[in-house]
Structure 1
């Protein structure tokens, strides 16, 4: 037996012991956390009393409060337009019975998942044992929406995906941009709209001197060592986290948030989600109102007076419809995210509500090449019991191998001796949403086998690192003897592609006054974490729309 093989088995043995020791604690905490609904439920339902009235007419209705919708609301309000936003999820501004707005990562409860009775965590196993727990059904923050071949994770609530993502605010390399949005002027984006988006989102860089000694980033430093020893560039990336707060967390002088592992079900303190940036500014204008727990079911041309008739279901925190409303809007902006917007438009075209929509609606959907994996390190490469949930860096092999790998945290509160990665890859496959008349649902034809391309691209990094380090892949994180997390995406993109299903500024072909302003405009891959590009594109599009369509 070679020394490398002996080291593999030794490191795996240590790692397994660590995982076994911690699994009971993690599972126990999760089970305790799922016993009761948070006190937030009644407060959230009471808040809907101020929601949009049945029969109301508004100048602008925005469907969704994520990146594209929030940009649209702010800029329209600043131009003097009254805006009403409709959000399917909750406001997430009232603490639960534990005094926190968001549930902890290792203690899921009803706040954690959207209308599920059992969690569906992206990393579903320890040592091959499933860790998902029973929880009360509730309009929680994370939706694990299942389609044939893939689960799509999405944020639910005011702020959309900004509530649940890791905050990695990456502007694509300029040389890659034309492959993402070929009809968009590169100079305009990089000179005007990316800077505007980064400023609006509060994007900053980690203090690298502090990072070098912070206990909570030991895992990232191990990731850097392994990357550089195998000849890969290791790059720092910006984030929307408040780094001064992070330093105080590490020092123990403020309540812990990222350092306590909070991310998947919301971050209680330091992350600058849209609620703290674009939405806060939009509300401050006095011209933006938001109806939460409201779900748009139909949009069609109004029978008289112009504009569009919008049908809305108001729901409670159990997901039951408690009221149906019909309102009229002069203009409607679809900003419900790649999946939400595309599903709605596909159904509206197929059922005759908006029959003149382009045949391109539903096409060009991708998952940004997401694939996850873990590596079993040697015992001398401990990754740390305390890991900040906010990633700061990644391994760049995009040009040579088609993959960028985020060095991701595994914040279990125990030493795992594991390095964990989320890769974005140059996966070429695109799926299509279609309406199923028999079920009345919208289906997606993604195939799990298409993820093999992403796996091969990720292997261009990790096979080489494993060979150099004498390490192996972990097989216990996504099931039993399963290396790759190839069953999901955090980055849904496309479905209503810019300059195909819409014109070059998001105006829906066939209908004046209907617009798309979210990630559905980007055809399947952004080459990096996509939310800065979604924000910048929305800034560009609404700039044009305000000038050309509203004359302001």
Structure 2
């Protein structure tokens, strides 16, 4: 633990900033170890009935607090990527697609961290714990039109052997039937069987989705953890005698911001990659956390993603495209490119506003815009039907494409109009792609199969950001990564910030490489491993000091208990 003056009285032992996968694991495991824990979450708290019925209910779906929107879907913009993220008590689990894959060997063997530990072995028991806690069903059990289309597309691409049904974190049960807690011996909340409504990413109103409020956070609150919703952390300051002061204000407040400061011996940053990076960049620049590594922002990853899709001109009569959980199947286009189907439920058509004609990505911006205009003018009626938002979710299949490619961005602060904001530049490795040719091939194969299944004209579609050379990602990672020294990253192998060992990063910002799959399970497993090394309250800390790590006294992290 951090060095601190034992005579100092702190308001709490640990403050956790954020309540996503890393923050939630931290809250439960620290409470189990006897710590007083307080969680500060910028988003609101949702009961099942509080979620939006469709994505058109902007106040409950989108996160724009200064406009009175306190929903689950954040959207951030950088010069090189547009980011979709989560908001609320439970973080990204509220609007993620409950898809829980383990990554392959390229992730564990990435040069950034492979010399620190045998990560596949080190994390194996923690993946098992994460799966148990998140209620993973290893194989989505239902097959419908979308699943047949995906399997057919994989076969058409010559990669049929890679097709599989996805592992999902959903209580399937009996559709619509409530039961007492089926996961934690009655200690967790009651649950309701999945109705396959498809609206997982808008927020599960049924109570079937295994969000963090159904497991880690529910159990943490039973053990005395305090969760304060709608508190945006604006400052984390190191105290002269040890410990930290954490300042927050009421989210979205124009006036009467209700600014508060709480002191703690230790702080866990679990605000998601965007939120955690914002705090680290700002606190380093202000001098509140002066020893944060200069590597902050380096190795920011986008999971090398693309979001494309296949859309028909009208609803196929024989295809229930919205029936099922959000993601149900996947296949590999090549050894590093993973494709999943994604769906929204009936009526949730807002994301269709991002879709447009798919453009060849190797052209200049004027040429891409000209391509879109030319296609629209050649067949305006068809393009109008394809671009219509009416029943968009009933007419199409989104293709989420992810890669293990070694590409990255470097994020930094810039000052504009008297305010600081984050900006991006191309980083280590290959350039972060503005489009993926593998995604285009996969989407065209899916479109061909959808047309065959439904008997209706269908077209592969891209996105407006892609037209302008800006990829979309739902999995923004890194920038405060695990490393062997502060020259190479921001945190040590125990997730302590180099130079500030009482401060931890336990969320997606710690992830050092593109996993090429949905990262939630990996973030949870990393958090479980990090917290397994914390001592119980009042017990000796057996983790090597950072000085010892740098001196080479520990050339490999200890195996997790």
Query: Is the CA contact (8 Å cut-off) linking 1:114 and 1:156 kept in structure 2?
Result: yes
SS of the equivalent of 1:502 reads coil
Residue 498 (structure 1) aligned with residue 425 (structure 2): no
Superimposed CA distance per residue, residues 154-193 of structure 1 (whole angstroms, 9 cap, x where no aligned partner): 2111100000000001111246422285234335435311
- Which residue of the partner structure matches residue 507 of structure 1? 496
- Which residue of the partner structure matches residue 108 of structure 2? 177
C-alpha separation in 2, matches of 1:172 and 1:262: 25
- Which residue of the partner structure matches residue 46 of structure 2? 92
- Which residue of the partner structure matches residue 26 of structure 2? 72
Residue 535 (structure 1) aligned with residue 524 (structure 2): yes
SS of the equivalent of 2:44 reads coil
C-alpha separation in 2, matches of 1:90 and 1:469: 38
**Cα drift, residue 457 of structure 1:** 3.2
- Which residue of the partner structure matches residue 93 of structure 2? 162
Residue 442 (structure 1) aligned with residue 378 (structure 2): no
Residue 516 (structure 1) aligned with residue 505 (structure 2): yes
C-alpha separation in 2, matches of 1:101 and 1:205: 29
SS of the equivalent of 2:515 reads coil
Superimposed CA distance per residue, residues 366-390 of structure 1 (whole angstroms, 9 cap, x where no aligned partner): 1111212223579999542542242
**More strand as a share of residues:** 2
Paired positions, count: 459
C-alpha separation in 1, matches of 2:413 and 2:254: 23
User: Unaligned regions of 5+ residues in structure 1, if any?
Assistant: 1-54, 118-135
Query: Is the CA contact (8 Å cut-off) linking 2:481 and 2:509 kept in structure 1?
Result: yes
SS of the equivalent of 2:341 reads strand
Shifted more, 307-316 versus 370-379: the winner is 370-379
Query: Is the CA contact (8 Å cut-off) linking 2:99 and 2:518 kept in structure 1?
Result: yes
C-alpha separation in 2, matches of 1:542 and 1:190: 12
Query: Is the CA contact (8 Å cut-off) linking 1:333 and 1:515 kept in structure 2?
Result: yes
- Residues 539 and 392 (structure 1 numbering): CA distance in 2 closer, same or farther, change over 3 Å? same
Residue 333 (structure 1) aligned with residue 268 (structure 2): yes
**Cα drift, residue 273 of structure 1:** 0.1
C-alpha separation in 1, matches of 2:396 and 2:539: 54
- Residues 172 and 548 (structure 1 numbering): CA distance in 2 closer, same or farther, change over 3 Å? farther
Superimposed CA distance per residue, residues 277-309 of structure 1 (whole angstroms, 9 cap, x where no aligned partner): 1111111112x11111111111122144x2112
- Which residue of the partner structure matches residue 383 of structure 2? none
C-alpha separation in 1, matches of 2:276 and 2:153: 41
- Which residue of the partner structure matches residue 358 of structure 1? 293
**Cα drift, residue 275 of structure 1:** 0.3
Instruction: Name which of 149, 153, 158 aligns with 1:231.
Output: 158
- Which residue of the partner structure matches residue 281 of structure 1? 219
Instruction: Name which of 125, 129, 138 aligns with 1:205.
Output: 138
- Which residue of the partner structure matches residue 153 of structure 1? 84
SS of the equivalent of 2:296 reads coil
- Which residue of the partner structure matches residue 406 of structure 1? 340
Instruction: Name which of 261, 277, 302 aligns with 1:342.
Output: 277
- Which residue of the partner structure matches residue 458 of structure 1? 439
C-alpha separation in 1, matches of 2:135 and 2:33: 22
Query: Is the CA contact (8 Å cut-off) linking 1:169 and 1:238 kept in structure 2?
Result: yes
**Cα drift, residue 148 of structure 1:** 2.2
Query: Is the CA contact (8 Å cut-off) linking 1:372 and 1:485 kept in structure 2?
Result: no
SS of the equivalent of 1:504 reads coil
C-alpha separation in 2, matches of 1:285 and 1:221: 45
**Cα drift, residue 419 of structure 1:** 3.5
- Which residue of the partner structure matches residue 15 of structure 1? none
**Cα drift, residue 107 of structure 1:** 3.3
C-alpha separation in 1, matches of 2:464 and 2:203: 25
**Cα drift, residue 546 of structure 1:** 2.6
C-alpha separation in 2, matches of 1:206 and 1:442: 42
**Cα drift, residue 144 of structure 1:** 0.9
SS of the equivalent of 1:244 reads coil
C-alpha separation in 2, matches of 1:334 and 1:457: 35
Residue 81 (structure 1) aligned with residue 23 (structure 2): no
Instruction: Name which of 398, 401, 406 aligns with 1:423.
Output: 401
C-alpha separation in 1, matches of 2:33 and 2:537: 13
- Which residue of the partner structure matches residue 119 of structure 2? 186
Compute the TM-score of the two structures, normalised by the length of structure 1: 0.75
**Cα drift, residue 453 of structure 1:** 6.3
- Residues 267 and 416 (structure 1 numbering): CA distance in 2 closer, same or farther, change over 3 Å? closer
SS of the equivalent of 1:445 reads strand
Q: What does 1:130-141 align with in structure 2 at a 5 Å threshold? A: 137-141=68-72
Superimposed CA distance per residue, residues 451-491 of structure 1 (whole angstroms, 9 cap, x where no aligned partner): 546512324544566789998983666359x7899542110
Q: What does 1:7-86 align with in structure 2 at a 5 Å threshold? A: 57-86=11-40
